[in-house]
Amino acid sequence: MRILVGISGGIAAYKAITLVRRLRDAGCEVQVVLTESAAQFVTPLSLQAVSGAPVRSSLFDAAAEAGMDHIALARWADQVIIAPASADVLARMANGMANDLLTTLVLATSAPVSVAPAMNRQMWAHPAVQVNIATLKARGVRVIGPASGAQACGELGAGRMEEPEAIASALLAPTSSVNWQGKRVVITAGGTREPIDPVRFIANRSSGKMGFALAASAQAAGAAVTLICGPNALPTPSGVTRIEVETALEMQAAVMGVAQMDVFIGAAAVADYRVAEPATHKIKKIIDADTLTLTLVKNPDIIRTVALRQPKPFVVGFAAETEQLNHYAHQKRVAKGMDMICANWVGDGLAFDQPDNALTVLWAGGEHRLMRAEKFTLAVQLVELINQVMKQS
């Protein structure tokens, strides 16, 4: 995919370097265009190094125009992303101005245009900015973020540029053929941590990647997505509500706390057991004892409780198996009251903490195999399959 990355002035401009790198890592060709003020925050030379192409900023650069003129550049792009998009560039775009190379390209391209706004929270909340955003959205411009959190100006609120990884995955997300507008989807992801004492815990190898990919894919289908996840460093897919938990009990409480859901996907590797009584102080090594006994108690089965809810959401679970995949997965689906189960083999470079996966999906009266692929591709296929089976049932 050919992506034109436009960078406007703002402290977040340095993050555009990571964005370009992520896009290149994913196999994209990238050309970078800077506004005049962006060059105050990030150097053309570093962007040239990461993009592998000359960086442009002027409409009147005779040498660059002789190579690929601005109209050719606008036609070259499969997608345009402006990150960071300052209040100024948004205003100029909303008004159809063409007073620099970047805004001219935006008018001249037929490719989809996305913006990742970044500005102080007061500026973002200003009605003038919000009117411009509404105008751009109405014209089909995709708005990625902004995220909330600590800002460079020392304030806290909405206006931070979305993380480069989240912007890259939003751009690379295959467009969904599913329409889940108005649907509420709840997804659990990652592994839980069960404390032993204040410094130790029992955990597992789940990375959360499959659940995060499903959240992005359900969001791309138009659903309102709540992602309840164990500790991990994955970026939140744009537009998804993330609730972070540590233990299975906290995960269950967070799931119970969601009032209404149409689809529930349990992709989390929830610990089956927790330590009965975690120590309040660090457990000391006993010099003359070779063993230490921990008493574990069973955790609640989150997916089973969700399957008992009225009205019942469409419940999808996962099963990681090392033998008799279909047999055990089928049993698990029925025992837990799931509508659909996605079974995967553990090992062979698949499933836990791996980028790829392959799934056998079972439901009452049906079975479908999703061949080995990157988890994001699988997630899109799985959302399509869930949608089909939901319509039949």
| 315 is a contact residue toward ligand C5P (CB under 6 A) | no
Q: How many residues bind ligand C5P (CB under 6 A)?
A: 14
How big, in percent rounded to 5, are the helix, strand and coil portions of the chain? 35, 25, 40
Return the residue of 12, 94, 166, 302 that touches ligand C5P, per CB under 6 A.
Answer: 302
Give 157-170 as a DSSP string.
EEEEPPPHHHHHHH
Are β-strands 142-143 and 200-202 bridged in parallel, bridged antiparallel, or unpaired?
unpaired
The two three-digit tokens of residue 379, written as one number: 């997630």
Q: Rule CB under 6 A: is residue 379 a binding residue for ligand C5P?
A: no
Rounded to the nearest whole angstrom, what is the least distance from the CB of residue 207 to ligand C5P in the complex?
14
Q: How many separate helices (H) and strands (E) can be counted in the chain?
A: 14, 19
Sole binder of ligand C5P in the list 13, 270, 361, 382 (CB under 6 A): 270
164 binds ligand C5P (CB under 6 A): no
Task: Decide: is 84 part of the binding site for ligand C5P (CB under 6 A).
Answer: no
CA gap 7, 369 in Å, rounded: 42
**Which of 50, 261, 317, 363 is in the footprint of ligand C5P by CB under 6 A?**
317
Active site residues: 153
What DSSP element (H or E) covers 231? none
Looking at 25-33, 67-75, 162-170, 301-309, which segment touches ligand C5P (CB under 6 A)?
301-309
Q: Is 141 in the site for ligand C5P (CB under 6 A)?
A: no
Smallest separation, CB 249 to ligand C5P (Å): 10
Least gap, CB of 211 to ligand C5P (angstroms):
9
Please pick, from the candidates 180, 264, 318, 363, the single residue that binds ligand C5P as defined by CB under 6 A: 318
Which residue, among 249, 207, 253, has the nearest Cα to 231 in the 3D structure? 207
268 belongs to the binding site for ligand C5P (CB under 6 A): yes
Contact call for residues 265 and 188 (beta carbons, < 8 A) = yes
List, in sequence order, the alpha helices (H) in 113-260: 121-125, 127-138, 164-172, 209-220, 248-256
Q: Tell whether omega for the bond before 311 is within 30 degrees of 0, i.e. cis.
A: yes
187 contacts ligand C5P (rule: CB under 6 A):
no
Contact 273, 308 (CB under 8 A): no
Q: How far is the CB of 321 from ligand C5P (least distance, A)?
A: 8
Rule CB under 6 A: which of 321-350 touch ligand C5P? 332
Q: How far is the CB of 263 from ligand C5P (least distance, A)?
A: 13
What's the N-to-C CA distance of the chain in angstroms? Answer: 38
Residue 357 is inside which H or E element, if any?
strand 356-363
By CB under 6 A, residue 188 contacts ligand C5P: yes
Task: State the Cα angle at 339 between 337 and 340, rounded to 5°.
Answer: 115
Is residue 319 part of the contact set for ligand C5P (CB under 6 A)?
yes
- Taking Cα atoms as reference points, which of 89, 86, 96 lies closest to residue 124? 86
Binding residue for ligand C5P, selected from 4, 42, 170, 248, defined by CB under 6 A: 248
Counting contacts by CB under 6 A, is residue 208 touching ligand C5P?
no
Contact range with ligand C5P by CB under 6 A, out of 110-118, 168-176, 274-282, 296-304: 296-304
Which residues contribute to the site for ligand C5P (CB under 6 A)? Answer: 188, 248, 266, 268, 270, 272, 299, 301-303, 317-319, 332
